[in-house]
Structure 1
Amino acid sequence: MTDLERRIIHFNLFEMNCVGHIQHGLWTHPENNRHRYTDIDYWTDLATLLERGLFDAVFLADVVGLYDRYRGGPETAVREAVQVPANDPLLVVPAMAAVTRHLGFAVTFSTTYEPPFAHARRMSTLDHLTKGRVAWNVVTSYLRSAARNFGLDDEIEHDLRYEIAEEYLEVLYKLWEGSWEDGAVIRDVEARVYADPAKVHAIDHVGKHFRVAGPHLSEPSPQRTPVLYQAGNSERGRDFAARHAEAVFTGAPSLEALREEIADLKRRAAAFGRDPDHVKVFPGASVIVAPTQAEADAKVADLQRHISPEGFLAQRGSGIDLAAYDPDEAIDDIVARGGDFTERAIRPLVGRGLTVRDVLASVGRVGQGGPLFVAGTPERVADEIERWADETGAAGFNLMQYLSPGTAEDFIELVVPELQRRGRYRTSYDDSTLRERLLGRGVHRLPDTHPGAAFRRGPKAHESD
């Protein structure tokens, strides 16, 4: 068996604390339990299932505004439950952590609208409570309605959001990595010294966007800085990911595009002085599996009956209101004249010779939402997963849910054993932090080549400490 064949393929489950996440309309399916998202048992049951299936983590998306550009308002999104109503993703993590020992938790939080000091404490708290199993999906937020929810007239310009994010992370690195030295916590009962004041430092950050005195209120957690996820696809976003991210969630439209995107990210990481292997890429994957191909095809047909094209248009309408354009107009022509697109909506559509009519006809098909879609037997699904991982260099995949928990249950019962048989999926957990699971045993802190490591104080704490 070659090294390539032995390489473990990692899996996260892509979730959101809401009724309708990414497969719009399927909240109406009789076997779907998404309406239970407000029930803590929904989350603890899901966590227990994923740990039984040896998943790396549950990846929790989030938005802080409504999709309100399609047909000129939020009515479609509200009616179709397009990521609304939605609750806070961070608050379900302690409940899930309490019923698991190994499952990781990647939570989405924006750098644009809330100041960094309180977020630093929240993430340190979660890292303590999970014993080093937490990650932060760093986003800058792109919805106009989100900006208005936080007192602004309109969304902040794209590159300025990334400028803010850069300083936001600088503040957090100072708090997480530099405010408390290694050895600051003594817990000397006889001397009545819990922590050495000489090793706890104010950060006194004064920048263009933030002023933060410090020190950090939390003592160092197992990972100090949580594992950093990112999903930016613009030039600025890719540079940001290459500089900071340890895991990148992407949605490249084809195997060839994914291969090039991964190679590009690793080239950029190397240019920033990082080890390219410390940037792991996770494309989305949509999997429908059954013991036979006929049964898998029947599942696809059943799901298709519940899909809501209007729901998909409402979400995509966050950047392009397709209902407002001539159906025969070319997407590339709309972009060229400065049509109302966000980069997120543009990327999968540009350069493919599509008209508005083409896009409308494709909306709402089972299988959209990730570059990898496969419906079939466990053997066929495993073949495609291996092919995409091996031909692109992807570290693993974010599994999209059609039915909750049915999608995860099918994957765990049918695909996981087949991947294990091939030596491509773990057969047990070890006692490690989430970062160690991604980067290797002993790497529970940011690696020395990561920019956050430069903010450590005192004797340098190396990645293997």
Structure 2
Amino acid sequence: MPRQIRFNAFDMNCVAHQSAGLWRHPDDQGWRYKDLRYWTDLAKLLEAGTFDGIFIADVLGTYDVYGGSNEAAIRHGAQVPVGDPILLVSAMASVTENLGFGITAGTSYEHPYPFARRMSTLDHLTNGRVGWNVVTGYLPSAARNMGHDDQLEHDDRYDVADEYLEVLYKLWEGSWEDDAVVRDREAGIFTDPSKVHEIGHHGKHFTVPGIHLAEPSTQRSPVIYQAGASPRGITFAAENAEAIFVAASTKPQLTATVKKIRDALEAEGRDRYAAKIYTLLTIITDASSEKAQAKYQDYLSYASEEGALVFMSGWMGIDLSTYDLDEPIGNVKSNAIQSAVSNVQGAGGEGKEWTVRDIARQGAIGGLGPIVVGSGAEVADHLQDWVADTDVDGFNLAYAITPGTFEDVIEFVIPELRKRGAYPEAYAEGSLRNKLHGRGDRLPTEHRGAGYRVETSVAAR
């Protein structure tokens, strides 16, 4: 039986997420990001396509590495203006029953105590369809606007994130017992105080002595997403992640990354397939190859190469405006997204190093991931080949235009995959965690977070 291919939709509460300049296309609706109807319609569309979820990216700063200022980012609408992703979820959940929601939020600039309550609230309101994409931050502008001279070094940010997750697991898993809420009308007791426990956390970065403010939700801990593919990021993912997003321009890059992640999961005492791995991809498709190619050329005519370099400079931590367009990138050390640097350095294939011009052209649509252009059958062939050759589970689909790119995938690609038995016909039951892994609503016992469950945490005190 063919391996089932999984899709996530990659979006952001902004005008230009990954494809700078495409907001100018007459069919693009990204400018409606402020309209709640845009998000509820998108959610219904994605659920009709049996997407695992919508993965909503976020930043807390502007892209100001390129040219040493944020002027180009502002001019091109490159992830600015940008709204909060969390506030979109309740509305989308109210018009869907199965779609999952991966919410990006960082560990560097918000205390874990209020964040724990916010995620528990959403898990309640969505009946267990929430995931959290853990990011440590990479934009220096965010650090400055939060009162710091610069962000911490790459690996130091993960050290903070380790403790951040420890606090959250203690709150989500170890504070309230499952039967703490009794709602005893006769005795006048809503919650049994003996079944609610202070977590007593006193660490290097955070002090949280008290109880979690929310009662246990469907999943308790949301599904943990993670997108770091650096050595430190892979270690963090192996300990925590249940869904992992990567970006690779070539099959050999992706194969190597997937193997590293699965080896790390196994070394951590987890199953090699304990986390679903999705790779970034943009699909341009239509009823025929010729129509798809024409559509791609049309999109390219609206793309902004300067906008692409704005994004790439921020992701790589390198001011690409200081390079000649035909200059190779070379070996660089980055304090931003290290996987972005390695991805670009290897993107040209064996014996070819990409230039700044190559980066601008490649990144103009879809960012760091490859682009597949073709009929539904041609795209399906490509997806199945990549899954078979790289061991990836699915694809995090960026868009050229929204919602048009997703509509095309649903119309032309998904029916072809289903015809081949390679795409789900329907959703699994239960929470997002169960839909992804089929092992119930709660964290499995071998997961790091399960070690903080109330029955173990109370006994340890």
| TM-score (ref. length: structure 1) | 0.93
Is the CA contact 1:111–1:138 (under 8 Å) kept in the aligned structure 2?
Answer: yes
Q: CA deviation at 1:43?
A: 0.4
* CA distance in structure 1 between the partners assigned to 2:19 and 2:274 by the alignment: 31
Q: CA deviation at 1:254?
A: 1.2
Alignment of 1:205-354 (within 5 A): 205-318=201-314, 319-327=317-325, 329-332=327-330, 335=332, 343-350=338-345
* CA distance in structure 1 between the partners assigned to 2:141 and 2:197 by the alignment: 38
Q: Per the alignment, do residues 326 and 287 of structure 1 end up closer, same or farther by CA in structure 2, a change over 3 Å counting?
A: closer
* CA distance in structure 1 between the partners assigned to 2:175 and 2:211 by the alignment: 6
Q: Please tell me the root mean square deviation across aligned C-alpha atoms, in Å.
A: 1.8
* CA distance in structure 1 between the partners assigned to 2:418 and 2:48 by the alignment: 14
Match of 1:425 in 2: 423
**Paired residue secondary structure (2:157):** helix
**2:96 corresponds to which of 100, 115, 130:** 100
Match of 1:400 in 2: 398
Residue type at the aligned position of 1:252: A
* CA distance in structure 2 between the partners assigned to 1:340 and 1:248 by the alignment: 21
Is the CA contact 1:283–1:370 (under 8 Å) kept in the aligned structure 2?
Answer: no
Match of 1:463 in 2: none
Moved more, 17-26 or 272-281: 272-281
**Paired residue secondary structure (1:277):** coil
Q: CA deviation at 1:373?
A: 2.3
Residue type at the aligned position of 1:418: E
Is the CA contact 1:24–1:308 (under 8 Å) kept in the aligned structure 2?
Answer: yes
Q: CA deviation at 1:332?
A: 2.2
**2:192 corresponds to which of 193, 196, 202:** 196
Residue type at the aligned position of 1:207: G
**Paired residue secondary structure (2:137):** coil
Q: CA deviation at 1:367?
A: 5.3
Q: CA deviation at 1:191?
A: 2.1
Query: Which whole-Å deviations, capped at 9, do the CAs of 1:163-194 have from their partners, x for residues lacking one?
Result: 00000000000000000112112222222222
Q: Per the alignment, do residues 382 and 450 of structure 1 end up closer, same or farther by CA in structure 2, a change over 3 Å counting?
A: same
Is the CA contact 1:25–1:308 (under 8 Å) kept in the aligned structure 2?
Answer: yes
Match of 1:381 in 2: 379
**Paired residue secondary structure (2:167):** helix
* CA distance in structure 2 between the partners assigned to 1:339 and 1:278 by the alignment: 30
Residue type at the aligned position of 2:298: D
1:447 aligns with 2:441: no
**Paired residue secondary structure (1:349):** helix
* CA distance in structure 1 between the partners assigned to 2:390 and 2:11 by the alignment: 24
Is the CA contact 1:182–1:458 (under 8 Å) kept in the aligned structure 2?
Answer: no
Identity of aligned residues (%): 49
1:89 aligns with 2:85: yes
* CA distance in structure 2 between the partners assigned to 1:367 and 1:380 by the alignment: 19
* CA distance in structure 2 between the partners assigned to 1:449 and 1:340 by the alignment: 32
Q: CA deviation at 1:340?
A: 8.2
Is the CA contact 1:47–1:103 (under 8 Å) kept in the aligned structure 2?
Answer: yes
Q: Per the alignment, do residues 355 and 255 of structure 1 end up closer, same or farther by CA in structure 2, a change over 3 Å counting?
A: closer
* CA distance in structure 2 between the partners assigned to 1:348 and 1:60 by the alignment: 22
Q: CA deviation at 1:432?
A: 1.5
**Paired residue secondary structure (2:18):** coil
1:126 aligns with 2:122: yes
Q: Per the alignment, do residues 340 and 111 of structure 1 end up closer, same or farther by CA in structure 2, a change over 3 Å counting?
A: closer
Query: Which whole-Å deviations, capped at 9, do the CAs of 1:285-341 have from their partners, x for residues lacking one?
Result: 1111111111001101100000000101111122111221345654225x2xx5887
Is the CA contact 1:255–1:371 (under 8 Å) kept in the aligned structure 2?
Answer: no
Match of 2:46 in 1: 50
* CA distance in structure 1 between the partners assigned to 2:15 and 2:328 by the alignment: 34
Q: CA deviation at 1:361?
A: 3.8
| TM-score (ref. length: structure 2) | 0.94
Q: CA deviation at 1:359?
A: 2.5
Q: Per the alignment, do residues 454 and 355 of structure 1 end up closer, same or farther by CA in structure 2, a change over 3 Å counting?
A: closer
Gaps in structure 1 of 5+ consecutive residues: 461-465
**Paired residue secondary structure (2:257):** helix
Is the CA contact 2:113–2:168 (under 8 Å) kept in the aligned structure 1?
Answer: yes
* CA distance in structure 2 between the partners assigned to 1:340 and 1:124 by the alignment: 32
Q: CA deviation at 1:429?
A: 2.2
> Which structure 1 residue ranges, 4+ long, deviate > 6 Å from structure 2?
none
Q: CA deviation at 1:443?
A: 2.0
Is the CA contact 1:186–1:196 (under 8 Å) kept in the aligned structure 2?
Answer: yes
Is the CA contact 2:225–2:241 (under 8 Å) kept in the aligned structure 1?
Answer: yes
Query: Which whole-Å deviations, capped at 9, do the CAs of 1:395-421 have from their partners, x for residues lacking one?
Result: 111111111111111111111111111
Q: Per the alignment, do residues 416 and 454 of structure 1 end up closer, same or farther by CA in structure 2, a change over 3 Å counting?
A: same
1:16 aligns with 2:15: no
Count of residues in correspondence between the two structures: 451
Is the CA contact 2:24–2:302 (under 8 Å) kept in the aligned structure 1?
Answer: yes
Q: CA deviation at 1:112?
A: 0.6
Residue type at the aligned position of 2:342: R
* CA distance in structure 2 between the partners assigned to 1:113 and 1:40 by the alignment: 27
Match of 1:27 in 2: 23
* CA distance in structure 2 between the partners assigned to 1:342 and 1:225 by the alignment: 26
* CA distance in structure 2 between the partners assigned to 1:76 and 1:188 by the alignment: 60
* CA distance in structure 2 between the partners assigned to 1:332 and 1:361 by the alignment: 13
Gaps in structure 2 of 5+ consecutive residues: none
Q: CA deviation at 1:70?
A: 0.7
1:364 aligns with 2:361: yes
Is the CA contact 1:328–1:355 (under 8 Å) kept in the aligned structure 2?
Answer: no
* CA distance in structure 2 between the partners assigned to 1:23 and 1:114 by the alignment: 29
* CA distance in structure 2 between the partners assigned to 1:344 and 1:404 by the alignment: 26
Q: CA deviation at 1:354?
A: 5.8
